[in-house]
Homo-oligomer: A and B are copies of this chain.
């Protein structure tokens, strides 16, 4: 079983610093909203569900030391902290989902004293960890039917245990298949520029005893053309109401190749990743990261200083490429506008 990615322990938040994996397995204590903002920004904690949880704890840390009993001032301060935490990675919908949850608490308990509110916010963040564990286990159960004996799965980036509180989304059906004793194999895209696949997904799989083969992102089409991949499962950073899915840059290329070589392409994500305000993928803002991540990776200059570089963190895969979206409430199928709509009608 994977170690917890993020947890509340001895009055602080404990995370694994994922920027150091696989060379070092370092746990870091986070005590302030500023430290959490930085941890999210620098990808020490990453993956949509884990970011949501980190945001909730970050908000708590930002108001933990609020003095006095002025509830109005407290609410004002809390909203400032929410805005601040939201600025760490503006593309991550789970960040705002977490912020919305905390702000809903404010409204629900508008008559409660400041000290009690603090306690309620911490409880909410801790409940989010428990919820995430339940949700990921459910995703694993709903998706495990796609991962039969001898199945070879290709995945991009990391939507494993370390992207969530513990069990993962895209990897959850694989972990579950492994638990059931099925022989499975995973092709791991290394996922440039930050190598979350090579560093994190490969680490998790090896750690759990699941056979995995690392490839560069550019090899995925070739491996699929050789009929060595039975299914692609990736995570999601944000899903629009029509099923268009924003995920780590490179996902679109994998989806296009999968379509071309008739490999079923699935997204696995909690329902919280669906942005109900977003009708289609066209409205998704694409975070552009520092070009130096491409030009100076790995502590070494890999390109001439004078060349420009473009570094979008995400791309958007149109719903037409997606065979299904594996959620904790079952596998959603096209037309997604309808299946996603039904999901909310029955909540």
Instruction: Verify A260–B250 contact, CB threshold 8 A.
Output: no
The answer to the question of A302 belonging to the interface, with a C-beta cut-off of 8 Å to chain B, is yes
Q: Which of B23, B214, B261 contacts A307 (CB 8 A)?
A: B214
Instruction: Verify B249–A22 contact, CB threshold 8 A.
Output: no
A66 to chain B, nearest CB (A): 43
The answer to the question of A203 belonging to the interface, with a C-beta cut-off of 8 Å to chain B, is yes
Instruction: Verify B308–A211 contact, CB threshold 8 A.
Output: yes
- Oligomeric state, in copies: 2
B residues in contact with A261, CB < 8 Å: 256
> With A222-B312, A307-B205 known to touch, is A216 a contact of B188 (CB < 8 Å)?
no
Instruction: Verify A299–B302 contact, CB threshold 8 A.
Output: no
B residues in contact with A304, CB < 8 Å: 22, 202-203, 206-207
Instruction: Verify A307–B188 contact, CB threshold 8 A.
Output: yes
The answer to the question of A190 belonging to the interface, with a C-beta cut-off of 8 Å to chain B, is yes
Q: Which residues from 1 to 59 on chain A have a C-beta closer than 8 Å to any C-beta of chain B?
A: 22-23
Interface size class of A (residues with CB under 8 A): 35 or more
Mask: chain A, 297-320; 1 = CB below 8 Å from B; 0 = not: 111111110111111100100000
Instruction: Verify A198–B295 contact, CB threshold 8 A.
Output: yes
Instruction: Verify B315–A249 contact, CB threshold 8 A.
Output: no
Interface of chain A, main secondary structure:
mixed
B residues in contact with A306, CB < 8 Å: 206
> With A205-B307, A212-B307, A215-B309 known to touch, is A299 a contact of B300 (CB < 8 Å)?
yes
Give the complex CA separation of A215 and B219 in angstroms.
Answer: 16
Give the complex CA separation of A302 and B260 in angstroms.
Answer: 30
Instruction: Verify B213–A216 contact, CB threshold 8 A.
Output: no
B residues in contact with A216, CB < 8 Å: 192-193, 217, 249-250, 294
Give the complex CA separation of A320 and B91 in angstroms.
Answer: 38
Instruction: Verify A310–B217 contact, CB threshold 8 A.
Output: no
- Report which residue of A219, A297, A298 has the largest number of chain B beta carbons within 10 angstroms of its beta carbon: A219
- Report which residue of A189, A260, A261 has the largest number of chain B beta carbons within 10 angstroms of its beta carbon: A260
Give the complex CA separation of A225 and B321 in angstroms.
Answer: 13
Report the nearest B residue to A300, measured CB to CB. B298
Q: Which of B195, B257, B308, B312 contacts A212 (CB 8 A)?
A: B308
Mask: chain A, 231-270; 1 = CB below 8 Å from B; 0 = not: 0000000000000000001101100110111000000000
A interface residues (Cβ-Cβ under 8 A, vs B): 22-23, 188-193, 195, 198-199, 202-203, 205-207, 211-223, 225, 249-250, 252-253, 256-257, 259-261, 291, 294-295, 297-304, 306-312, 315
| 21 A–B contacts from the bound complex (CB under 8 Å) | A188-B307, A190-B294, A198-B295, A203-B303, A203-B307, A206-B307, A211-B308, A212-B308, A213-B307, A213-B310, A214-B291, A214-B308, A214-B309, A215-B309, A215-B310, A216-B294, A217-B217, A221-B252, A222-B250, A257-B257, A298-B300
